[in-house]
Structure 1
Amino acid sequence: MTLSLELTWTAVCAVEDVPMGAGVAALLAGDVQVAIFRLPGDEFHALSNMDPFSGAAVLARGIVGDAAGAPMVTSPVYKQRFDLRTGACLDDEEVSVRTFAVRVTSGVVHVGSP
């Protein structure tokens, strides 16, 4: 049996509000903070903005880069790296952050949450 979750899509910003190779923070319903990242080719990813190591809402201000072909963000606090595709911590396999679906419609970035 496959469970299918219906996503609620929230318009968070215009595409041009997200700098290439960087992130911005947004607030979803329920005070859920997300970090939205824009990569070359207008590829977007969204993660929880909360750094699980420091407890601070800072991942949107992290440094975006590449680790062995995986797009990632480095936390500005303790420098752990997180895979933008999966949320997995590349420095501690037991830690991850939540990922969110992202879509762009008519130049607006939307984040999906259950």
Structure 2
Amino acid sequence: MEVTAIHKDKYTWLAACPVNSVPEDGGACVLLNGQQIALFNFTRRGEWYATTNECPHRQQMALSRGMIGSLGNEPKVACPFHKKTFSLKTGECLNDEGYQITTFPIKVEDGVVYVGV
């Protein structure tokens, strides 16, 4: 998919992929402006999230393949390799305060997922 940009508000919204490219209650990775972004379709919560795809624990591009769930009311993703768990809202590591990931605003319009940069 060709990257298109929409300039609104304080973000530039980049078209990431069609909605059906991201599995329900799962993740997918897209390349936007040379950066791997993990997209999460958290169907059980009716929410979408976007983060960096790199797990900072071992610098592996793997978060899009992690398991999503909730810790209380906090949506989270667990790295599939070493189970570091990150908030999908804030990027905070929930089981090791020494790590953090970047989160991005995300929206869905007309069947397309957009990420704000």
Same-fold status (TM-score > 0.5)? yes
Partner-residue secondary structure (3-state), 2:76: strand
- 1:26-105 correspondence runs (5 A): 26-29=30-33, 31-40=34-43, 42-105=46-109
Please give the alpha-carbon distance, in whole angstroms, between the structure 2 residues aligned to 1:42 and 1:16.
Answer: 15
CA deviations on 1:72-101 (whole Å, 9 max, x unpaired) are: 110011111011111110011232100001
Length, aligned pairs only: 108
Please give the alpha-carbon distance, in whole angstroms, between the structure 1 residues aligned to 2:52 and 2:22.
Answer: 16
Q: Gapped runs of 5+ residues in structure 1?
A: none
Cα deviation for residue 10 of structure 1 reads 0.9
* Alignment TM-score, normalising by the size of structure 1: 0.89
Please give the alpha-carbon distance, in whole angstroms, between the structure 2 residues aligned to 1:28 and 1:8.
Answer: 12
Larger strand share, 1 or 2:
2
The alignment status of 1:25 with 2:44, answered yes or no, reads no
Q: CA-atom RMSD, angstroms? A: 1.3
